[in-house]
Chains A and B, each alone.
Chain A
C-alpha cells in the first residue's frame, strides 16, 4: 500500500522538480564550476516575495520553533542533547554516503560508511559517537553543484527557509532518495521524514538561539545578512571546507590596479577610484 502511495508521490516530486529546474534555468546565466567557485552578485529576482516569506517564517519561528528550542536547550541535560544530535547525524550518514559517491569523493564516502556502522553497532544505534570521525554534511544540492548545476536564484521557502533554487530542488529529491526515509516508507512507518525534519529543526534552533538573536540585533538588514551568510556557507559546504580552494582571491581589494574582467564580479567594484592618485603598482601588473 505504501509503495504505491510512494510511487505516486514520486511522480509528483519529479514534476515539481522539473518545474523548479525550468525556473532555475531561465534565470541564471552562467554555469558554476564547483572547483573554482566565484562569488558573484546576489541573484534574487523575487526579492519582495522572498522578504515576505522571510517575515512569515520569522513569525512562525517566534511562535512555535523558538519557544520549543528554548525549552529543549534549557531543560534537557547536555548529554541528552548530544545523543539526539549524534542520533540524527548517524541517520544522515547513509545519505551522505550516496552523495559522496555521486560526487566522486570516495574518501568521504568511506568515512560515512565507517562512522555509520561503528556508531550504529557500538554506539547503541547511533546515540553515542564512538567513531569520532569528522564527516562533512552532504546533500543533493551539493552533489548537483559538483555536477555543474548552477546555483539559481535565491529562494525563501515557507517554513523551510533560505534556499537557492538548486538546493530547493535538492530538498525535494532528498525526500525521495534518502535511504532511511525509503526503508521507513517500505515498512509502513509513517512520517519518518517529517519527524526527522522536525527534530533537526529543533536541534539546530536550540544551538543557534543566541547567535541568530545577535545577528538580528546587529544587522541593518537581517534578510540580506542571512542571504549572504547562507550563500557563502553553501559554497563552503560544496567545497567541503577545503582550505586550498577558498574562493577568496576573487574578492579583490585591489581597486587601484585591477582591471575589470566581467561585469558582476566583486573584484572590479573598486577600480578607477584611485587610479588617478596612484598608479605606480599598476604598470608592473
Chain B
C-alpha cells in the first residue's frame, strides 16, 4: 500500500514505450502555443507508431527491435540523455570512452525498455496537457489508463535540440525521472570503480553480452 505507488512507478518505468498501445487526445486543454502543440504531436505520433509496430504480426522480435531503435533514435535525444546520465564523469572520460559509452548507453536503453514490448496491450495513453517549462522545454503530461487498477502518470520532457527539432529528453513516471534513475545507477558504478569510467564501460559490455 505505502509502497504501491513506488511499485507502480518502477513497473511503468520499465515499460514506457511498451505501454502505449492506443492514443486518444484529451479534449479540454491542448496547448495553444506552437511549441507545445508540436511537443504533443511528437508524443502522440510516437505512441501511434509504437502501436503499429507492436501489433504487426509479420515482424519477429529482431525486426521489432530494429523498428523500436529507429523510433527511439528519431524521437529521443539520446546523446543528451547519455551525457546527463554520465553526469560529472563525462568530462573525465577520454574522447574514445565517450564515443563507446554513447553506443553502449543506446544499446542498454533499447534492451532495457524493449524487453517487454508487446506485453501491455489494451492500455490507453491520454494526453492531459502540455506546459512550457522554459524557453526550450515543454512538459507533456499524459496518463496511462489501465483496464484494471489506477491510471499511471507519465510526463514527457520535450526539448528543442540544437538542430532545431523537438526531442524527448526524459520520461517521468509518477514523478520518478528515468534519466535521474539511470544517472544514479551509472554514477554508483563509476564510484565503485574509483571514479574510472572504464569500469562502467566494462560493466555495460558485460551486461549487454549477458542479456542480448
Q: Could you give, for residues 122-163 of chain B, a 1 whenever the CB lies within 8 Å of some chain A CB and a 0 otherwise?
A: 000000000001101101010000000010010101010010
A203 interface residue per 8 A CB criterion: yes
| Cross-chain contact B172 with A204 (CB below 8 angstroms) | no
Q: Could you give, for residues 49-69 of chain B, a 1 whenever the CB lies within 8 Å of some chain A CB and a 0 otherwise?
A: 000000000000000000000
B180 interface residue per 8 A CB criterion: yes
| Cross-chain contact B180 with A232 (CB below 8 angstroms) | yes
| Cross-chain contact B136 with A137 (CB below 8 angstroms) | no
| Cross-chain contact B184 with A227 (CB below 8 angstroms) | yes
Residues of B in contact, count (CB < 8 Å): 59
Cα A270 to Cα B86 with chains together (Å)? 10
B27 interface residue per 8 A CB criterion: no
| Cross-chain contact A229 with B10 (CB below 8 angstroms) | yes
Known: A211-B14, A236-B174, A243-B141. A220 touches B207 (CB 8 A): yes
A157 to chain B, nearest CB (A): 14
| Cross-chain contact B141 with A229 (CB below 8 angstroms) | no
B33 interface residue per 8 A CB criterion: no
Cα A230 to Cα B180 with chains together (Å)? 12
Name the one of B11, B177, B180 contacting A211, with C-beta atoms under 8 angstroms: B11
| Cross-chain contact B175 with A228 (CB below 8 angstroms) | no
Which B-chain residue is minimally distant from A161 (CB atoms)? B3
Cα A85 to Cα B2 with chains together (Å)? 11
Cα A39 to Cα B183 with chains together (Å)? 12
| Cross-chain contact A221 with B116 (CB below 8 angstroms) | no
Q: Could you give, for residues 162-177 of chain B, a 1 whenever the CB lies within 8 Å of some chain A CB and a 0 otherwise?
A: 1000000110101111
A38 interface residue per 8 A CB criterion: no
| Cross-chain contact B157 with A248 (CB below 8 angstroms) | yes
| Cross-chain contact B91 with A278 (CB below 8 angstroms) | no
Which B-chain residue is minimally distant from A223 (CB atoms)? B188
B45 interface residue per 8 A CB criterion: no
Residues of A in contact, count (CB < 8 Å): 54
A23 interface residue per 8 A CB criterion: no
B103 interface residue per 8 A CB criterion: no
Cα A223 to Cα B116 with chains together (Å)? 22
| Cross-chain contact A253 with B84 (CB below 8 angstroms) | yes
| Cross-chain contact B174 with A246 (CB below 8 angstroms) | no
B88 interface residue per 8 A CB criterion: yes
| Cross-chain contact A241 with B175 (CB below 8 angstroms) | yes
A233 interface residue per 8 A CB criterion: yes
Known: A214-B14, A224-B185, A243-B141. A253 touches B180 (CB 8 A): no
Known: A225-B185, A229-B10. A246 touches B169 (CB 8 A): no
B162 to chain A, nearest CB (A): 7
| Cross-chain contact B83 with A39 (CB below 8 angstroms) | no
Residue pairs across A and B with Cβ atoms less than 8 A apart, 7 shown, are A214-B14, A221-B185, A224-B189, A243-B141, A253-B137, A253-B169, A254-B136
Q: Which residues of B contact A (CB under 8 A)?
A: 1-7, 9-11, 13-14, 80, 83-84, 87-88, 90-91, 108, 111-112, 115-116, 133-134, 136-137, 139, 141, 150, 153, 155, 157, 159, 162, 169-170, 172, 174-177, 179-181, 183-189, 192, 200, 203-204, 207, 211
Please name the 9 residue pairs, one residue from A and one from B, whose CB atoms are nearest each other, closest first.
Answer: A224-B188, A228-B184, A236-B175, A233-B6, A211-B11, A232-B176, A224-B185, A269-B87, A218-B112
Given contacts A39-B180, A225-B184, A233-B175, 5 further A-B contacts (CB under 8 A): A214-B115, A220-B186, A224-B185, A236-B176, A253-B157
